[in-house]
Amino acid sequence: MSLSPDNIKKNWRLKYDKASETLAQMSKIKTLAAAFNVNVDSIIKISGKDLTEKIKEYGLSLTELQKADNKKISTPKDIYRGIFRCFSLGIAEEWIAEDKAVYDWMKQHLGTKKLQMGAQAGIIANTLSLSGIQKVVTHTASLPELQAEQFFKRENLLSFDENGNLKPAYRINRPQDEASIHWIIEFDKDDKAEVDGTEIICPKSNRFIATYDPMLFNLVIDDNFVKYTNENPVNCIILSGYQALDSANNGVALVEKTIPIIKKWKQNSEHPLIHLEIASTQDKEVRKAIVKKIMPICDSCGLNERETIDMLEVLGYEALAEKCNRETTPSNLWQALKILKKETACPRIQLHMFGLYMTAADKDFCLSPQDNLKGMILAATAAASKASIGKLSEPSDILVSVGQDINQIGINALSELAQAVGNQQLLTDGFCKTEDFNLIAVPTIIIDKPKTLVGMGDTISAFSLLGAL
């Protein structure tokens, strides 16, 4: 076919038109399990004007705000340092508070007006329960009534009560547990803040996450979940929750304690696909343990451009990390993806960036390039729908964005990637063979003013993988 811009868009539109068929196929999946992190998110929108006022209120200078060596929340000032950093760079980061006094300050001053399901496992479980999967089993270290209220009222969405019985999660109340609340502070592209007479324009809509979560900090694991997933057939297990660990608080050992659990899952006669969802991990030693010890024993991994750069740093590729940070382009991230694939030997790695998803999968991986492509297109559809309406809460919500145009930014990004790889098949078919693995890439639908970005990466990774089964 001719590679004219109009023909390329038309070709991809036809591929996207099959997203509903892919979604319908997901009803054949019997069981998905999601672990380890579930919490309550408190969603806050901050304007550039409000940020400017808070910076003035706390006496923060531009020099102080631009220091990036300390990414922990010890005082309320640190919350606004983190917001400013993410606002000014258009990036997403999660910073940790370890002092309960700071947590109490956040409850009082940041508030809990808008609550929803939080954390990778919780968001994935809620979202995938809408897809037709027959049973979604969720790990919950803490499940009091406030947490249970964040689960969708769906009979296929399950967790364990205080006696270890599997029940619909929304019906459970473990009253001895305490809910963990994380604050998601969102901001908009092109909004403006002013510091010391300097105007700062936000380059991309994104969010800053402030977390206090002792259950997560200590990676408390529910034995009922582990027992169930060892004794019952499970098609896929999606893992996350390592990102809040701190090497000064036994974090590396906590990462390592999950290795035998993962290896036992892999020894199961009906070996489930095990997917690791990477998240913003500030502690470098914990990050190194994840990339060197967890990624190599998982079947699949998902991460965004920021997390990719962070992983390059701890693998010793500082120059490429800096290059990707300076120019976050498809061609630079392609180099990063190849290195991650080589260094971790993880059979499948998906990298999602603005306008483009790319997946590197072993040539003998159980999911074909065509299947991966279908899953990634469904993921892009679901992500655009979520961005358009703010949340996916009904099965019909998943396909809200069907019929929307593929954004030219995504087409341009795919074209750049195809050029970097040296194979134009990628631009037309969405996949090609490289020397070491299959590469699958999808240009996405872009929503200019998304209503939310919370859980977007989790939605992308989960639908990409489960939609390919």
Going from N- to C-terminal start, the domains of the chain cover 5-36+121-157+215-466, 41-116+178-213
Q: Which CATH number fits domain 41-116+178-213: 3.30.1540.20, 3.40.1190.20, 3.30.1110.20, 3.40.50.12280?
A: 3.30.1110.20
Cα angle for residues 378, 328, 294 (degrees, 5° grid): 65
Per-residue pLDDT of the chain (469 residues; tens, 9 = 90+): 557 777 898 999 999 999 999 999 999 999 999 999 999 999 999 999 999 999 999 999 999 998 878 888 999 999 999 999 999 999 988 898 888 899 899 989 998 888 999 899 999 999 999 999 999 999 999 999 999 999 999 999 999 999 999 999 999 999 999 888 899 999 999 999 999 999 999 999 999 999 888 888 899 999 999 999 999 999 999 999 999 899 998 999 999 999 999 999 999 877 899 999 999 898 999 999 999 999 999 999 999 999 999 999 999 999 999 999 999 999 999 999 999 999 999 999 999 999 999 999 999 999 999 999 999 999 999 999 999 998 899 999 999 999 888 889 999 999 999 999 999 999 999 999 999 999 999 999 998 888 877 778 899 999 999 999 9
How far apart are the C-alpha atoms of 353 and 450, rounded to whole Å? 15
Give every strand in the sheet of 93-97, ordered side by side. Answer: 72-73, 93-97, 206-211, 181-187, 39-45, 115-118
Amino acid at 344: T
CB distance 117 to 100 below 8 Å: no
Taking the CB of residue 137, how many other CB atoms lie within 10 A of it? 23
Question: For the segment 55-102, what is each residue's pLDDT rounded down to a tens digit?
Answer: 999 999 999 998 878 888 999 999 999 999 999 999 988 898 888 899
5-36+121-157+215-466 is a CATH 3.40.1190.20 domain: yes
Which helix or strand (DSSP H or E) is residue 137 part of? strand 135-138
CB distance 214 to 39 below 8 Å: no
The whole-number pLDDT of residue 94 equals: 85
The whole-number pLDDT of residue 460 equals: 95
Indicate the SS3 state at residue 159: strand
CB distance 255 to 283 below 8 Å: no
Indicate the SS3 state at residue 56: helix
Q: Is 41-116+178-213 in the same CATH topology as 5-36+121-157+215-466?
A: no
Amino acid at 434: T
Taking the CB of residue 144, how many other CB atoms lie within 10 A of it? 18
Q: What's the whole-model pTM score?
A: 0.87
How far apart are the C-alpha atoms of 185 and 203, rounded to whole Å? 16
